[in-house]
């Protein structure tokens, strides 16, 4: 199932995508959660109840997607979005080449976070911040949504903690990263975490290895790879992150980006105002955003 969060008349709700143009609004049944984090926290029991309600509902219960505004599936998570830096082999190589340094593959996942205030949904604007950066970059990433309280989980058991998957475009101001000597500021500005367009449940998405992911700017392909190129697998990421650190339902982990970012291009083609960026992952969909002043 694909779960989305929508806004209508300044109110938020949760729905299930049906086909490409319709959705089922969970708010039609008072027994179902109308908040994504509550839905996730309900676990398998809540998902089973949702499936039963949707199966029994008739076609007249479906509504047009065009009648709502789809927002980030978790507009305001309870904590920062966890991110993994330098986790695709090709991206590590291009980054080292762009900086004129020796290629060095991390021995463990390199974690940082993006603040919740950086999150926006599909079709929302990515701010250009002309006074702050001249090196605005994109990064398509597979994002993991945790489904249950998890700590010290083994690699073998880690995927059982996953509720679903979504897409994050991990926007970065490369010059701010360099100026501040770390990743947080250059990746944490408002609108720098487009997310969506929905969450695909883990059972529908299947094994996270081998999924194709790509990104285009104004229709031109910039990134094209598969999750097979991950240095640390999704299971390894969750196991490392949860060591001594409690993960909770609704926590989000962005797993890194493949090669093809503007930083690694020659010449470097940074994002500019009115550029349309589309991040796509097989099994999820397309996350599209426009760069705005």
- The CATH number that applies at residue 253 is 3.90.850.10
How many residues would you count in the chain?
293
- Sign of the torsion formed by the C-alpha atoms of 111, 150, 81 and 156: positive
SS (H, E, C) 16-37: EEECCCEEEEHHHCCCCCCCHH
Same domain, 211 and 184: yes
Q: Which strand ranges, in their side-by-side order, compose the sheet holding 125-127?
A: 125-127, 285-292, 276-281, 212-217, 220-226
pLDDT value for 254 = 98
Pairwise CA distance, residues 188 & 182, whole Å: 11
Query: How does pLDDT run along the chain (293 residues), one tens digit per residue?
Result: 999 999 999 899 999 999 999 999 999 999 999 999 999 999 999 999 999 999 999 889 999 999 999 999 999 999 999 999 999 999 999 988 888 999 999 999 999 999 999 999 999 999 999 999 999 999 999 999 999 999 999 999 999 999 999 999 999 999 999 999 999 999 999 999 999 999 999 999 999 999 999 999 999 999 999 999 999 999 999 999 999 999 999 999 999 999 999 999 999 999 999 999 999 999 999 999 999 99
* φ/ψ of residue 152, rounded to 5: 55, 40
Classify residue 86: in a domain, yes or no.
yes
Same domain, 45 and 113: no
pLDDT value for 40 = 98
Same domain, 266 and 146: yes
Classify residue 76: in a domain, yes or no.
no
Classify residue 131: in a domain, yes or no.
yes
Same domain, 54 and 115: no
pLDDT value for 268 = 96
Classify residue 12: in a domain, yes or no.
yes
Number of domains in the chain: 2
Same domain, 125 and 52: no
Classify residue 185: in a domain, yes or no.
yes
Same domain, 162 and 248: yes
The full DSSP string for the chain is -EEEEEEETTEEEEEEEETTTEEEEGGGSTTS-SSHHHHHHTHHHHHHHHHHHHHHS-GGGEEEGGGSEEE-SSSS-SSPEEEEES-BHHHHHHHHHHHT------SS-EEEEE-GGGEE-TTPEEE--TTT-S-EE--EEEEEEE-S-B-S--TTTGGGGEEEEEEEE--EEHHHHHHHTSSHHHH-STT-EEEEEEEEEHHHH--STT-EEEEEETTEEEEEEEGGGBSS-HHHHHHHHHTTS-B-TT-EEE----S--GGGSSS-----TT-EEEEEETTTEEEEEEEE-
Last residue of a domain, one of 49, 71, 93: 71
Rg of the chain over all Cα atoms, to the nearest angstrom: 19
Last residue of a domain, one of 71, 100, 129: 71
Same domain, 97 and 164: yes
Same domain, 160 and 243: yes
Same domain, 132 and 32: no
Pairwise CA distance, residues 172 & 157, whole Å: 32
Pairwise CA distance, residues 291 & 293, whole Å: 7
Residues 254, 84 contacting (CB under 8 angstroms): yes
Same domain, 286 and 149: yes
Last residue of a domain, one of 11, 39, 71: 71
Classify residue 13: in a domain, yes or no.
yes
Classify residue 29: in a domain, yes or no.
yes
Domain residues for 41? 2-71
pLDDT value for 58 = 86
Classify residue 233: in a domain, yes or no.
yes
Same domain, 61 and 187: no
Same domain, 191 and 285: yes
Model confidence, pTM: 0.97
């Amino acid at each position: 199932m694909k779960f989305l969060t929508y806004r209508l008349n300044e109110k938020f709700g949760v729905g299930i995508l049906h086909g490409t143009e319709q959705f089922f609004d969970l708010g039609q049944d008072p027994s179902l959660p109308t908040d994504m984090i509550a839905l996730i926290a309900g676990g398998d029991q809540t998902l089973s109840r949702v499936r039963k309600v949707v199966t029994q509902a008739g076609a007249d219960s479906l509504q047009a997607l065009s009648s709502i505004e789809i927002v980030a599936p978790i507009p305001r998570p309870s904590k920062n979005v966890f991110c993994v830096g330098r986790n695709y082999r090709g991206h590590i190589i291009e980054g080292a080449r762009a900086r004129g340094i020796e290629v060095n593959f991390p021995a463990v996942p390199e974690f940082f976070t993006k603040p919740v205030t950086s999150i926006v949904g599909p079709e929302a604007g990515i701010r250009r911040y002309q006074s702050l950066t001249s090196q605005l970059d994109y990064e398509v990433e597979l994002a993991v949504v945790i489904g249950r309280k998890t700590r010290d989980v083994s690699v073998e058991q880690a995927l059982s903690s996953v509720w679903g998957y979504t897409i994050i475009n991990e926007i970065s101001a490369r010059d701010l990263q360099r100026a501040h000597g770390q990743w947080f500021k250059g990746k944490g500005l408002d609108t720098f975490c487009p997310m969506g367009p929905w969450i695909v449940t883990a059972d529908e998405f299947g094994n996270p290895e081998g999924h194709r992911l790509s990104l285009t700017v104004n229709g031109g392909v910039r990134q094209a790879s598969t999750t097979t190129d991950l240095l640390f697998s999704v299971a390894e990421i969750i196991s490392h992150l949860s060591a001594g650190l409690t993960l909770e339902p609704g926590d989000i982990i962005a797993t890194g980006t493949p090669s093809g970012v503007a930083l690694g291009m020659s010449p470097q083609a940074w994002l500019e105002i009115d550029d349309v960026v589309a991040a796509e992952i097989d099994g999820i969909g397309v996350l599209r955003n426009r760069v705005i002043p």
